Chains A and B, each alone.
Chain A
Amino acid sequence: MSAAVPTHAGIRLQQYLWRHPGIARLGVVLMLFAVWEIAARWFVDPMFLSPPSKVLFAFGDVLATRGVPAALRVTFFELAVAFAIAVVIGLVVGLAVGLSKFGNRSVMPIVLLLYGIPQITILPIFILYFGIGPASKIAFGVTHGMFPIVMAVVAGVQNIKPILMVSARSMGASHWQLLRYVIYPHMIPSFFSGMRLGMTGVLLGVLLAELYVSTAGIGYFTSVFTQNFDPTKLLGLVAILAAMAIVLNEFVRRAEVHFARWRD
């Protein structure tokens, strides 16, 4: 970053970047893209890698490929349904386990045991039971997404500062009021961070299942593009999916920030 001959403009640029790390970050990203562009243009077989400039102009082509828009819709549908189911299961199980000390002590180790299983090993079973359509992807997404939500809800219900409960009881709060005015609002932020982790899990589960076997979703097209040695379209499709993942993550993250705004 330090120029060999510190010119006036050079120093100004340095000071500007110093004050704006975000701009410097953008510079780093652009540099990486430049390296990629140069590598792809002059050093790597175009059968395997396309330069980003080409990928950028290929987005239209990708979306115009027959079946791709429908595949994206299918994948989005799978993600949305899996996420919704994971949230409902996570919330219900989390509350049931978290609100009772006995439930927590007896069931939580089972939850942790199941969560610890590398689920990828049982993916073939999911396909076997739920078929190669969206059902298996949704099911696999649900089992990946629900555990973090369960654990976050349990933590949110249990990690309340004892003094808040004692204080509420001293003012005469009933059991219902403790639940409604103390436990519930305390749980909300961790529920939302659980949902963020759950979204990560759902994305992982659905995409794993899609990539494993697919006839209509994006998994089908990634394998087609790979087999046809069409890196441009493959990169374009991956970029579109990454963008979709970023948007979904960001959506949940915003919700989390919104509902946790009372935290300092």
Chain B
Amino acid sequence: MDGAAAAFSVILPDRALRIENLGMTQAAIPDAAIRVRNVSHQFGEVGEARHVRALLNTSLDIARGELLCLIGPSGCGKSTLLNVMGGLFTPTTGAVTVGTTPVHGPMPHDIAFIFQESALFPWNTIFENMILGMTFQGVPKSEREDRARRALEAVGLDEFAAHYPSQLSGGMRQRAALARALSLETQILLMDEPFGALDEQTRMVLGEDLSVLLSRSKKTIVFVTHSLGEAVFLADRVAVFSARPGTIKEVITVDEPHPRKPEFMTSAKFHRLRDQLYGLLHEEIRKSMSQSAKPKRAYEDQAKGDS
């Protein structure tokens, strides 16, 4: 893997080049925040019952400061790709670089994660959760409380600092998870269907908040979702996945400045883009539904495989 990564840093100079990838092309982006090159990933071994080819020869560049949505049918490997980007899985083949660093494991100083279920530690209060995240990351003790408070204020949870996660609603828990990620002050946020378990109204509000936050913070965000509306509303670009083994079928640009207003959702542009996405996805969703049922969440497989 080291060799491959080193090779890429040589092959990829800072100019746009086109990558041949299953007949489709994507522009390489100069000075990208994250580069994904020819990543394939499979769970289990060939011939085993739990063998799954999750991701097939995928390449993608994510520009600094953009919000990129990954969208696709269930089990298509979009979460797998996110985990590979963040160094939580080592891909079977291929390589990821963040800035100029090849990714070989978690990069807590560059990348913060937000997961679908709140990954808050249930035995700690919201505030303790903030502190603990920064402890893990290695933030000096003197700075932690201050940063925790600021992050909680940014998501409007400062009054709930002393609550336990179980005392909050799902939406508030995800806000808290967002605050914890923000307190880590990384340039990159990887969000794995963060609003997936929430009701429609809550996710709309959180989506608006996220758009505002993005326009302020200039963070690079990769956001996995299965909601067409959410993808169009939030993303600068939407990468559409094919059915399993997943790879990127097409990337659509949403040319609309942040912060986005709710009115955007009723505009003709929004509907055109949404319909375009639906057209791209529809066939893949049918394909994936006819595949084996019950896709497991990728990290569960991974955790069972190597913990």
Contact = CB atoms under 8 A, between A and B. Distances in A.
B51 to A, nearest CB: 19
B88 A263 contact: no
A185 B122 CA distance: 9
A140 to B, nearest CB: 35
B108 A172 contact: yes
A39 interface: no
11 contacts: A163-B119, A166-B119, A168-B136, A170-B86, A170-B113, A171-B108, A172-B109, A182-B121, A185-B123, A263-B122, A264-B122
A156 to B, nearest CB: 12
B304 A162 contact: yes
Nearest to A182: B121
Contact of A173 (B112, B136, B300, B303): B136
A235 to B, nearest CB: 45
Interface of B: 86, 88, 106, 108-109, 111-113, 115, 117, 119, 121-124, 132-133, 135-138, 164, 166-167, 184, 299-300, 302-304, 307
Contacts of A171: 106, 108, 112-113, 133, 136-137, 184
Given A101-B307, A170-B108, A185-B123, 9 more contacts: A168-B136, A170-B113, A171-B112, A171-B184, A172-B109, A177-B136, A181-B136, A262-B166, A263-B166
Nearest to B105: A169
4 shortest interchain CB distances as A-B pairs: A172-B108, A162-B303, A167-B119, A264-B166
Given A162-B299, A262-B164, A170 B111 contact: yes
A204 interface: no
B304 A186 contact: no
Contact of B112 (A165, A166, A170, A264): A170
Given A163-B299, A167-B115, A181-B121, A172 B106 contact: yes
A90 B74 CA distance: 43
Contacts of A181: 121, 132, 135-136
A188 B123 CA distance: 10
A242 interface: no
Nearest to A188: B123
A169 B123 contact: no
A170 B123 CA distance: 19
A166 B137 contact: no
A166 B299 contact: yes
Contacts of B123: 185-186, 188, 262
A166 B299 CA distance: 8
Contacts of B299: 162-163, 166
